[in-house]
Amino acid sequence: MTGSAWLLRRLAASLAIIFAVVTFIFILIHLAPGKPCSENLEPRICDLLTHQFGLDQPLAVQYGRYLVELAHGNLGMSFSLRRPVLDALVETVPFTLQLAGAALALDFLLGLGLGIYQAVRVNRLPDVALGNATLFVYSLPTFWLAPILLLIFGEKLRWFPVGGASDPIFCPAVTSLFCVADRLWHLVLPATTLGVVGAAGTARFQRAAMLEVANQDYVRTARAKGVPERQIVLRHQLRNALLSFITRFGLAFPFLLTGAVLVETVFAWPGMGRLAFNAILTRDYPLVTASALIASTVVVAGNLLADILLGVADPRLRVQAAAEADIATA
Amino acid sequence: MTAPAAPAAPAAPPVLLRVRDLKTYFVTEHGKGTARAVDDVSFDLFPGETLGIVGESGCGKTVTSLSILRLVPEPPGHVLPGSLIEFEGRNLLALSAPELRAVRGNQIAMIFQEPMTSLNPVFTVGDQIAEAAIIHQHLSRRAARARAIEMLRLVGIPDPDERVDDYPHQLSGGMRQRVMIAMALICHPKVLIADEPTTALDVTIQAQILELLDRLQHELGMAVLLITHDLGVVAGHADRVVVMYAGRVVETATTDALFEQPTHPYTEGLLAAVPRIDARRARLHAIPGQVPAATAWPPGCRFHPRCPYAWEKCVAEEPPLLDAGDGAGHAARCWLVTEPERRVPKR
């Protein structure tokens, strides 16, 4: 199959990119000023610890050791948490994926829906009103929106919890349907904060993409065939506008992950973003590189997913990719 | 007025498509001017015939063809009240949206100049051909697909069973135009509007596509409105011709009469600009100047700034369509019809 050959090549390229990112982060964090020891630690003990963790070795040696350990699936010991990095990540990554997944769904489902709706009603009142509303929301900074939502819906109205991912007394673990609902209830505010600004951007983007397609010759052809307007928009225009939408989808992942750091901090969400942020402050080298590894994997996977979706949605790319793979395997 | 009688038929067939006083104007971007792209155009299309509409770019021929199916984007365009586009006795301009859709692609179909961009890149050609049959004839997807394959065979595409699942980018330009034709004809329309159907194609492919249109016209018995800038195409394929200039009909005649006795100086210029194999000329003739902007047509006869014969009357007063006198509805919008002795070039 030519399609699977293409996929293999893309997977290999993805691995190379992740490797490069991890290498880059490893070098960068070691070159950054500051030490893993806290300032009020006795210098003697700091030196001891530095030696114990092998941080007095040349950078190349440390990097080599790191790669060997990584190849064995060992991400190292966290300096600050004093426990294996892997354990800390296994605990926190699912929460970040939950948060980012919910935000992603909100961003793209709401954004897509609004954009299509605006394109159908273009230049009429609903379109103009939504156009202004999305511009307003899009211009809100997340660092402002997060505490404001927390203040209004958590503190004043008390509709949603002010922090955490679950109720610590009734649902420390998901043991019942009630606890699933509890998790979702806790998810609402952080996911909205993280997703709504993106949704506004997506809506504006999707509206523009739909209208750009509206002027294409093939839309006129469809109209000349007697296709109803609704079908023209939802079939002929949407399928073509989805192509740029998918590209945008692939580009959204880095912003979701960086946004997660802030949102997790404000909402006390026990995710990886908060963990990575603290790791950077404490110069927790193993934890920083491991977080970068996870983040780059998510970003690269997101892009790969977008490319695969694009291949499904755009027949021109499908054939081109097959031809490229033919050349590569020949 | 034109009243083009059917050429010497014992009983004149009923008019299939009657266009009267069609005015399609565009509001220009800053709202300052109005582009009178089509300005008072009238013509008739009879069942089974091919009527050519000829003119330079910007003369309004494409806007005329788009106006018939109301495909002119509104805004900025609009068809003025008082215009009449009558198909089988019904004014298309007065139809509701669903009524109009029932005509589009079903009784009047259209093919366009650019087969590259006129097909949707993300759907198979089979799906796009079948779409009209599903909408208008309520065929099942399976039946419509079978019809699409049949249509592909009819328009001369080899291996139609396989090509039906191809996407437009997998086909050549000529093949794509064949697909466009298959798409337009799947519901056996009574009128096919072909807007520059061969302009974007290689010369050899042009001839094939025009032959195909001729053959299908005879097989399916439809009328064709052939929009082109190419008098060579008109000569070989049209029964009658409408020559347009500056949003107006300037001459209408049977194809033979037009080539034998071009009456309007614009038609004369167009004919002189066609290279001929039987007449050795050092240089091709060109009509001086360009079509003026549609926001500011010249006063009087709109052709007078480019006309080699123009005199004071042409600047002062626009001629109506005048009977050129050789029967068969030959008419020209030119004062030379009344003062033929003035047909002496000034330069």
The per-residue pLDDT for range A112-123, each reduced to its tens digit, is 999 999 988 888
The ipTM estimated for the assembled molecules is: 0.85
Q: Who wins on pLDDT, B204 or B346?
A: B204
* Residue A237 CB contacts under 8 Å (≥ 6 apart), including other chains: A119, A210, A213, A214, A219
Which chain A residue shows the shortest CA-CA distance from B119?
Answer: A218
| Torsion, CA A274, CA A280, CA A281, CA A287, rounded to 10 | 80
Q: Who wins on pLDDT, A70 or A33?
A: A70
Greatest mean pLDDT among A36-40, B28-32, B150-154 lies in B150-154
Q: Which of B106, B112, B170 sits opposite A226 (nearest CB)?
A: B106
* Residue A6 CB contacts under 8 Å (≥ 6 apart), including other chains: A311, A321, A322, A324, A325
Would the pLDDT of B309 be above 50?
A: yes
Closest CA to B65 of B47, B36, B85: B85
Q: Which of B104, B123, B167 sits opposite A225 (nearest CB)?
A: B104
* Contact residues, chain B, for A317 at CB < 8 Å: none
Q: Which of A212, A218, A236, A246 to mutate to test the interface with B (most CBs of B within 10 A)?
A: A218
The residue with tokens 């709109």 is B302
Would the pLDDT of B325 be above 80?
A: no
The residue with tokens 């009020």 is A40
Distance from CA of A235 to the nearest CA of B (A): 10
A interface residues, B as partner, C-beta within 8 Å = 215-218, 220-229, 236, 239-240, 243, 313-316, 319
* Residue B198 CB contacts under 8 Å (≥ 6 apart), including other chains: B177, B205, B206, B209, B210, B228, B230, B233
* Contact residues, chain B, for A313 at CB < 8 Å: 122
Q: Give the span between the Cα atoms of B105 and B339, in whole angstroms.
A: 46
Helix (H) or strand (E) holding B41, with range, is: strand B34-45
Helix (H) or strand (E) holding A202, with range, is: helix A177-214
**B77 backbone dihedrals φ, ψ, rounded to 5°:** -90, 155
Residue A316 binned pLDDT confidence (cut-offs 50, 70, 90): confident
The per-residue pLDDT for range B34-68, each reduced to its tens digit, is 888 888 899 999 998 999 999 888 888 899 999 99
* Contact residues, chain B, for A314 at CB < 8 Å: 121-122
* Contact residues, chain B, for A316 at CB < 8 Å: 121, 167, 169
Other beta carbons within 10 angstroms of residue B312's beta carbon come to: 9
Average pLDDT over residues B189-210: 86
> What's the pLDDT score for residue B190?
92
Average pLDDT over residues B259-269: 89
CB contact (8 A) between residue A223 and residue B110: no
* Contact residues, chain B, for A218 at CB < 8 Å: 117-121
Which chain A residue shows the shortest CA-CA distance from B101?
Answer: A226
The residue with tokens 């926190």 is A92
C-alpha distances in Å from residue B67, one per residue of A155, A323, B78, B92, B337: 61, 43, 9, 10, 30
SS3 B257: helix
Distance from CA of A324 to the nearest CA of B (A): 16
Q: Helices A177-214 and A142-149 meet at what angle, rounded to 10?
A: 140
The per-residue pLDDT for range B83-96, each reduced to its tens digit, is 999 998 899 998 89
Distance from CA of B231 to the nearest CA of A (A): 26
Q: What percent of chain B has pLDDT over 70?
A: 92
Q: What is the DSSP letter of B187?
A: T
The per-residue pLDDT for range A235-285, each reduced to its tens digit, is 899 989 988 889 888 888 888 888 888 899 889 899 898 898 888 888 888
Which chain B residue shows the shortest CA-CA distance from A310?
Answer: B122
CB contact (8 A) between residue A221 and residue B118: yes
C-alpha distances in Å from residue A113, one per residue of A107, A118, A127, B274: 10, 9, 12, 54
Distance from CA of B149 to the nearest CA of A (A): 18
Q: Which of B131, B135, B137 to mutate to test the interface with A (most CBs of A within 10 A)?
A: B131
Residue-averaged pLDDT of chain B: 86
Other beta carbons within 10 angstroms of residue A191's beta carbon come to: 24
For residue A261, what are the β-bridge partners? none
The per-residue pLDDT for range A76-101, each reduced to its tens digit, is 888 888 899 999 999 999 999 999 99
* Residue B11 CB contacts under 8 Å (≥ 6 apart), including other chains: none
Q: Which of B120, B129, B169, B188 to mutate to test the interface with A (most CBs of A within 10 A)?
A: B120
For residue B85, what are the β-bridge partners? B19
CB neighbour class for A301 (10 Å; exposed up to 12, middle 13-18, buried from 19): middle
Average pLDDT over residues A6-26: 89
* Residue B202 CB contacts under 8 Å (≥ 6 apart), including other chains: B173, B174
Q: Which of B102, B106, B117 sits opposite A217 (nearest CB)?
A: B117
Distance from CA of B185 to the nearest CA of A (A): 10
CB contact (8 A) between residue B109 and residue A225: yes
| Torsion, CA B91, CA B93, CA B98, CA B102, rounded to 10 | 50
CB contact (8 A) between residue B71 and residue A229: no
Distance from CA of A163 to the nearest CA of B (A): 46
Distance from CA of A38 to the nearest CA of B (A): 59
CB contact (8 A) between residue B118 and residue A218: yes
Please give the full DSSP string across B113-147, using - where no structure is assigned.
S-TTTSS-TTS-HHHHHHHHHHHHH---HHHHHHH
Would the pLDDT of B1 be above 50?
A: no
